[in-house]
Amino acid sequence: MTKDRLLALRNEARDLFYHGYNNYMAHAFPADELRPITCKPQSRNRENPADVGVNDVLGNYSVTLVDSLSTLAILASDADPKHAKTALKGFQSGVASLVDLYGDGVKCGKKACGFDLDSKVQVFETTIRGVGGLLSAHLFAVGDLPIRGYCPKRKASHIEWPGFKYNGQLLRLAHDLASRLLPAFGTSTDLPYPRVNLRHGIPFYQDAEHGICQVNEQSSDPREITETCAAGAGTLLLEFTTLSRLTGDGRFEELAKRAFTAVWQRRSPAGLVGSGIDAETGQWITPTLTGIGAGIDSFLEYAFKSHVLLSGLNHNGSEDYLQVWQQAHAAIKRHVYRTAEKHPYYGQSDFLTGAPRFSWVDSLSAYYPGLLTLAGEIEEAVTSHLLYVALWTRYSALPERWHTYNGFIEPAFKHWAGRPEFIESTYYLYQATKDPWFLYVGEMAMRDIRRRCWTRCGWADLGDVISGEQRDRMESFFLGETAKYLYLLLTENHPLNVMDAPMVFSTEGHPLIVPLAARRTKTTTAVKHVESDQKKSTCPAASAPLLLTVSKVANRTDFFHAAALAQLPSNKTLYPWTLPPQYFPLNGTSSPMNNAPISTLTFPNLFPERHADGTIPLGALQKISDGIVINSLSNMRINMVQEHARRGEHAIVTYRISGIANVALGKDERVWLNSNALDGISPSDPHFKKTLDGGMIDLILQSGNGSRRNFIPAILATGEGAAVLPLSLTSSLVGALPHRRIFLLNDTLCEYNLPEVVAQDFDILVVKRGGCTFLEKLARIPELGDSSLKMVIVLSVSDAEPHPPNRELTHPLLEGQQLTPNGQVRQYPIALAMTDGRDETIAAFRNASVGVGSVQNNKITIQPTKVSGKEPAFGIRRRFWFESLGVRITNLYLL
């Protein structure tokens, strides 16, 4: 893109902001918002207090002005001195107007004493728009955030502006507003109530009963709703931490950390965070879904950005927040990220298991590529951003919700509210890659907004992205975020774009930083119980375009995959539509789309006298914590997806059961098949075949007091000398353990022969690994006929490694024939298996043994153990796997 074209676009972005801002000041100020079609102010809906879609945001404190101050400060660094001066003047006069209305934090203003207003507002929205907007404007005012050419000089206790003296009024007002939110934190769960009255606190939550919120955001019950969400409770960290550091009042940072931690500690075993959660009980609202969009989005965003904001401070918790992000991202990548479609996307999944539930994406989730970019996940960011670009190309906006399977938009979700997330991600990706493709994406978005949303008094949002119907509302974030990110995207050398400091944009687009003077404040760390694989804290520099190309994105071989998923009119459609054709390679080719093969197993009706209609029997499926138990295969349909796994250095094809009877399963869920369910199923059917696992077995140990059973995985020996596992060691009776005589030898059995009495009276011998080969250990055991010792179990432990890690077991190798102590070939070979010799395993064998031995005086001595109560017992459970046409089904197990 040429410099002249970039300059022209930047001027358009600046004019876009002023068209909305000037009309707001002329037709709506000091009200909260502007109605751009009727040119009237938009205020709270006092006639209908349950209209939370309006009343949650509009607190009657001129929210559009508060949200716009940081944009004005950013425009004040314009390369054109005339435009920069105009923006700086607008910023300073806007600050003076707020102080005139609401006071300076000490004295009252014309409208109120601070924010002493009878307005019930949402804690989340008031924090990100009100508190965040005031803090960011204060940081610009005192020079902690840069404005080109603005060098504030303090005279005594203030900074001289034309006709105004700035002495921290915005900071005091931010403290006043945030203090009025603190009553919402009076819960036993550390999760704040979702709403608070700026004057009266939370009297409406006393003895509140849980209500329901409809799709149209209208309350269905006059009783107060105590439901908040992960984003609403966890997205306070940046604003409250900055406020605490600037004022020295640590209450805000501490409460925000507790709320964030309260959400994170309630994550599922799959590592996923849900959406709706009750502030009073701390329970997730069912049915609990997870994803990256509405209700969850800014929780993920603030995990990483809190790491950045607090980096370099002592006692700050910065690394803890990084680890939260890394764990959350890993869980999302595994359970929410869908790669088996035409192009990857993030769907809606089950909170507990990660199983796919819905296939729609929402416009709020368009922020995620930007967050991935900040975290250094550039490839994933570019891949996911392509779909949003293709969708915008199709609709000239982003619908609030869009279904990937059929391209359907539900009637209640056809609108675009002027949201900034898509442009925000485009801005971050351009800063990281410098690929001009993203500039053309920004140009497309701006031209579509100007074409479809312009009114004579501002910018209307769209009620229907297909018909272009306008709605008479211009939310404050349109000026506070959407216009801001457009301008920053098209302004190459803006001070914020080249700033080398831990500055972050809040989820409302307000730049925040903890100044050097305030970075010495000591705070507590609230986030605990995190594990992580530490990564580098810097991202690689943007790579150069490919040879003879301009844009790396336009030359991706999967470029048109997103166009196919978005159902653009043709697979040759250029997107964004503003992109010049020469950006594409002349002989470029598209790689095959990644559609994972799917197979379905359909079982017959095993009970012809019943269920002739094809229904499955009652009780055929049983839900358990980590999966599903199948008690009957009659009329059952099992869906499987083909995956690639690694076995050593080789890649193998496997199946994973992804659904049973139209119930989707998570990637980590297991399917347990009751052995009785195989009755009536042909054992020779290649489509569904049970196969004995010749390597892995499970050792079942029952302690002497009979209090518990231990299941220990072990692996059988292989090689010329490997013996077949005796059938007597396994039992056909469920729960029965056939053997009760285990001898635990605290030695490697390398130097001394085993006493004949042990070989005669015991069934199982347990020895340590090391000192000699496995065959040499077996050669120390006397042969006393087929009724003697039946199995040797080797504990993989040595003195050099007393606590080995939980690693994958390897087959013990018996390279020759088994011999007796006198060198003869053993007539009755002994089965041998090896298991991991952790402390827990050794203790389990010790509790299950009736004899213990050790080396004393150059021989093995026997020390019988006392057995009280129920006798110890031992058994072996053989493992089986299932396969379909020779391909193993990895998550199906036999009970």
**CB of 565 within 8 A of CB of 343?**
yes
- pLDDT value at 380 more than 80: yes
pLDDT digits (tens, 9 = 90+) for 821-838: 999 999 999 999 999 988
Classify the C-alpha dihedral 885-886-891-894 as positive or negative.
Answer: positive
Higher pLDDT among residues 534 and 251, named by residue: 251
Strands 873-884 and 791-796: unpaired
The DSSP secondary-structure symbol of 463 reads S
The whole-number average pLDDT for the span 74-78 is: 98
Q: At what angle do helices 81-102 and 63-75 cross, to 10 degrees?
A: 150
CA–CA distances in Å: residue 372 to residues 297, 361, 433 = 12, 17, 13
Q: Which of 703, 374, 699 is nearest to 506 (CA)?
A: 374
**CB of 245 within 8 A of CB of 522?**
no
- The set of catalytic residues is 125, 297, 400, 421
**CB of 511 within 8 A of CB of 496?**
yes
Higher pLDDT among residues 161 and 864, named by residue: 161
Binding residue ranges for Ca(2+)? 507
Asked, as a colleague might, if the bond just before 576 is cis with ω within 30 of 0, I would say yes
* E strand or H helix that includes residue 650: strand 650-660
Whole-prediction pTM: 0.87
In the chain, what percentage of residues exceed pLDDT 70? 90
Give the list of residues 6+ apart from residue 97 with CB closer than 8 angstroms, or none: 29, 30, 62, 65
Classify the C-alpha dihedral 408-412-417-420 as positive or negative.
Answer: negative
Q: Residue 345: what pLDDT?
A: 97
Name which of 149-158, 413-422, 725-734 the model is least confident about.
725-734
Distance of alpha carbon 243 from alpha carbon 252, whole angstroms: 7
* E strand or H helix that includes residue 853: strand 851-856
Look up tokens 């876009």; give the residue.
Answer: 16
Name which of 265-269, 326-330, 397-401, 850-854 the model is least confident about.
850-854
Asked, as a colleague might, if the bond just before 30 is cis with ω within 30 of 0, I would say yes
Alpha-helical segments (H) within 118-202: 123-125, 132-141, 169-179
Q: Residue 516: what pLDDT?
A: 83
**CB of 42 within 8 A of CB of 105?**
no
Rg (CA), the chain: 34
**CB of 328 within 8 A of CB of 273?**
yes
- pLDDT value at 118 more than 60: yes
Confidence of residue 625 (pLDDT cuts 50, 70, 90): confident
Give the list of residues 6+ apart from residue 586 with CB closer than 8 angstroms, or none: none
Distance of alpha carbon 225 from alpha carbon 435, whole angstroms: 46
Binding residue ranges? 507
The DSSP secondary-structure symbol of 129 reads I
Maximum CA extent, the chain? 108
Confidence of residue 588 (pLDDT cuts 50, 70, 90): confident
In DSSP notation, 364-414 reads GGGGHHHHHHHTT-HHHHHHHHHHHHHHHHHHSS--SEEETTT----GGG-
pLDDT digits (tens, 9 = 90+) for 608-619: 878 778 889 999
Name which of 147-156, 330-339, 671-680 the model is least confident about.
147-156
Single-letter residue type at 4: D
Q: List phi, psi (to 5°) of 79.
A: -65, -25
Alpha-helical segments (H) within 194-314: 230-234, 237-247, 251-264, 297-309
Domains of the chain, first to last: 598-681 (no CATH), 695-880 (3.50.30)
Q: Residue 867: what pLDDT?
A: 56
Burial of 674 (0-12, 13-18, 19+ CB in 10 A): middle
Report the 10 Å Cβ neighbour count for 720: 11
Q: Which of 802, 801, 743, 812 is nearest to 772 (CA)?
A: 812
